[in-house]
Structure 1
């Protein structure tokens, strides 16, 4: 007779025995999605180079190449999570991987920036079905007491992808054409699908929600209009332009309509009631604001290392290695600090470190010793690791296990939206500050060429190359203008991270609340059994 005090196992024994192998497969699937973005970070300078080396993409086109993926990803994440809950997470995960692989192959052979933007959107469609399913499966193959450890290892996989991505991208760009950074995804997808079919069990929500097509259309439309307006403002260096203001205003209006519709829907994409919990809201805000700051700063860091400092893509990948190593090392161990000091102290400290490292970019110059940049990257990775792991645990354990897909989708939706807005806003700050700094040096050029040459440092350097000896002075001015723009943008990113630290310090639970919440959760699980 089973003792009533013995905890009932919720995970089948056969699945429990292979749970760590399943986690490895889930991390491989996650690796593909994160790897793609980290590889692209190294490749954006090459893609901005005129054909045949690249596609000659402008800075705004580069922002859209990143954001077309991100916006589709973010806009469909919640519906993808619901489909996984309804149809089975394994089926949805495999389908998403296949679509991602097809999109990667198409992106590799893009003939223009417009094609690349479109095929990146296809990749975002596939990734939207991969990301929430990995965490949802994880929550269903690990018992509750092991979930924080498993999530920590899962988060460490992000650090591994960030480490592998830039180096892999650099190696590929040293030996092959720019499209190889996308084509490399295809064999990884094939391996992941094979292992998925062999090892991973299927799971679903016994009471799945209904798909909310109105919510999906409103959220994607609102975000695209908002991001388009912000990027257009940076491209024109004029945020008072009628087109810019009207587009941003329309985007905000559509997003307001989305919130209104979700409150009144009986099957919303996002259950607004979740955000009545201040702890849950603070954790979601932390994820969004962290990625706002980080993605925006990473966007200009590649141009700093390659355009200003003259490093190759491979060398840039190696320079970014400390960022990835720190995440890989600290993410699985962050839970130990949470156990000792609590969520609030750990996460706030991580955000303060992140804000300080972002501000440190404002002190970098063309001849700053490179070891200083390495220290900044390492501390940045350490700060991120001590934010992402505790915040992910708070979010995933805030909802019942059967709603794991929804919790994962919410987390990743706001992560991607934060990243997209970070690239749009901070990219536009960078573009505006750069144009204001270089425009006086472009006065001798025709009006059309003057506008395009002032959009980014790569465009200016391309003009300088065509001028021969006369272009040396222009190249020097381009470097100076970019460094000033980078300093301004870095301080904006640091301010956002500092704001996030304040939000977390006020609303996230401290050490005393965690055991009580955990015990309450366990009692609810037992009662539900």
Structure 2
């Protein structure tokens, strides 16, 4: 096998012209199938594990802090390593890094299922995050190199549909596995999926090398960026626990700023920088990155509260709450490929602006939900949210990856994923703080108006903590049913008030994002390389 490193297919190339290919290797649509299975494994894992946490806590005797680490260790490893992993793909080839990512992710998943202690679970979750970081940018790099510019949006549309479906299916699949098999099965399921993705990858994927692919590593850049990302994401994860004004939070945020500044200064003079700053001279690429951060801010931050609303206010099981989110999932599955087709035809600017405005309307609509809202109302807003998010997932991804030079496709893919991780962490932290502030101010007033017995400071703190997730704390034995119902009503009312304010903020962010979308445009049209087997 040989690989041609030219940056555009010649007119006589039958593949570029849509003609038949003599070999399966390198076929664009089969490449999409291969990377979609691998990406599905990672996307599913992002939400399926949350359902398993209570069972892990009981089986392994984990504390609440341990359970939080099971999630945070994965997110930290993923966020810190994404851009570096993309650079590895640019240097060594996206096929190699994708296959290594699949093998490592599946193996780490199996090791978690075999673990008998919390420290082992956390350690292998870090390993899982590192290999997941290898896999995700490589998938986008392979799509960028395999599809000509005029078909890239359609491919990313299907890619986005797979991510949306997998992410939303996590709670349903996780609930069924935990309920009928075991929490270990949530991780074991990645092994056969990984084997299928590996088999397809070995047969189908073709290694593409751009003509000007990097040949060396920016070690200092890797260290500085990793330290900056770790400090930022860690501060966001711990902010609500430490408080935003605490010395610890400020110290980590300050360390992040210092490391980012040093990183930028170093990248300006590095011979082969980790993240070429000239990429950001492209206004569309910069706008696409900002758009991805803001989209993830509103979506992940807002959805965080919606799951508590369904489970703790409406009393749904994890499986039932996942089923109630199906309108969002279904709309993303349907709308993502359609969005790709529309963006291919008219460009990303108008679809992205309209999509973010629809997302804003959905967020504002969800902010009006209360304890009596029925399935029809919630389904309407969830479906509208899916309709708004799908074009952004597709369009912003194409804007970032499509406007990057081909030799930096992996870095661009890592940048896109890192933007989502940072945006999601930022949204959860900031909107969580908004929620907590509203509950802190609202709950005592509602408690007094309901003429409930006064609380001491310790009890009030516990009730506020429970109200922030919509869960009424268990009342003392012998408490009259009328008082129990009044307490539940106060807690749910305070939670809904906080959720409404948080979702309103998410809606405002979506409006700002619509303004940023005005600066996006499609890539310059550099097609993937010509490939010969």
TM over 0.5: yes
1:455 pairs, out of 444, 461, 465, with: 465
User: Are 1:220 and 2:229 matched, yes or no?
Assistant: no
Question: 1:23 deviation in Å?
Answer: 1.7
Q: Which residue of 2 aligns with 1:33?
A: 42
Question: 1:371 deviation in Å?
Answer: 1.4
Contact 1:100 1:123 (8 Å CA) reproduced: yes
User: Are 1:464 and 2:477 matched, yes or no?
Assistant: no
User: Are 1:167 and 2:176 matched, yes or no?
Assistant: no
The farther-off stretch of 437-446 and 171-180 is 437-446
Any idea what the Cα deviations from partners look like across 1:148-193, whole Å, max 9, x if unmatched?
2222222221233134323212212332444433332222112222
User: Are 1:479 and 2:492 matched, yes or no?
Assistant: yes
Count residues in correspondence.
508
Question: 1:244 deviation in Å?
Answer: 2.7
Question: 1:354 deviation in Å?
Answer: 0.8
Q: Which residue of 2 aligns with 1:92?
A: 97
The separation in 1 between residues aligned to 2:85 and 2:478, in whole angstroms, is: 53
Q: What is the TM-score when the length of structure 2 is the normalising length?
A: 0.85
Q: Choose between structure 1 and 2 for higher RCO, CA contacts under 8 A separated by at least 6 residues.
A: 2
Q: Which residue of 2 aligns with 1:502?
A: 515
Any idea what the Cα deviations from partners look like across 1:304-330, whole Å, max 9, x if unmatched?
111111011111111111111111111
The separation in 1 between residues aligned to 2:27 and 2:135, in whole angstroms, is: 21
Change over 3 Å in CA distance of 1:481–1:217 after alignment to 2:
farther
Question: 1:143 deviation in Å?
Answer: 3.4
Question: 1:438 deviation in Å?
Answer: 4.5
The separation in 2 between residues aligned to 1:197 and 1:17, in whole angstroms, is: 11
Question: RMSD of the TM alignment (CA)?
Answer: 3.3
Q: Which residue of 2 aligns with 1:24?
A: 33
Q: Which residue of 1 aligns with 2:413?
A: 408
Give unmatched runs, 5+ long, in structure 2.
1-8, 448-452
1:325 pairs, out of 321, 330, 337, with: 330
The separation in 2 between residues aligned to 1:430 and 1:47, in whole angstroms, is: 27
Any idea what the Cα deviations from partners look like across 1:376-402, whole Å, max 9, x if unmatched?
111111111121222222222213334
Any idea what the Cα deviations from partners look like across 1:429-470, whole Å, max 9, x if unmatched?
3344434545786974674x7656643448884841665646
The farther-off stretch of 430-439 and 402-411 is 430-439
The separation in 2 between residues aligned to 1:193 and 1:56, in whole angstroms, is: 36
The separation in 1 between residues aligned to 2:166 and 2:407, in whole angstroms, is: 28
The separation in 2 between residues aligned to 1:489 and 1:436, in whole angstroms, is: 14
Higher helix residue share: 1
The separation in 2 between residues aligned to 1:221 and 1:417, in whole angstroms, is: 14
Question: 1:129 deviation in Å?
Answer: 0.6
Question: 1:483 deviation in Å?
Answer: 1.4
The separation in 1 between residues aligned to 2:425 and 2:371, in whole angstroms, is: 28
Give unmatched runs, 5+ long, in structure 1.
none
The separation in 2 between residues aligned to 1:115 and 1:435, in whole angstroms, is: 37
The farther-off stretch of 335-344 and 149-158 is 335-344
The separation in 2 between residues aligned to 1:328 and 1:280, in whole angstroms, is: 25
Change over 3 Å in CA distance of 1:36–1:77 after alignment to 2:
same
Q: What is the TM-score when the length of structure 1 is the normalising length?
A: 0.85
User: Are 1:419 and 2:424 matched, yes or no?
Assistant: yes
The separation in 2 between residues aligned to 1:137 and 1:311, in whole angstroms, is: 40
The separation in 2 between residues aligned to 1:297 and 1:43, in whole angstroms, is: 21
The farther-off stretch of 465-474 and 341-350 is 465-474
Question: 1:130 deviation in Å?
Answer: 0.6
Question: 1:300 deviation in Å?
Answer: 1.4
Any idea what the Cα deviations from partners look like across 1:19-77, whole Å, max 9, x if unmatched?
32332111100101111113245556x469x635995536xx76654443233223212
SS at match of 2:315: coil
Q: Which residue of 1 aligns with 2:217?
A: 211
User: Are 1:491 and 2:504 matched, yes or no?
Assistant: yes
Contact 1:290 1:500 (8 Å CA) reproduced: yes
Q: Which residue of 2 aligns with 1:299?
A: 304
The separation in 1 between residues aligned to 2:183 and 2:469, in whole angstroms, is: 18
The separation in 2 between residues aligned to 1:497 and 1:111, in whole angstroms, is: 43
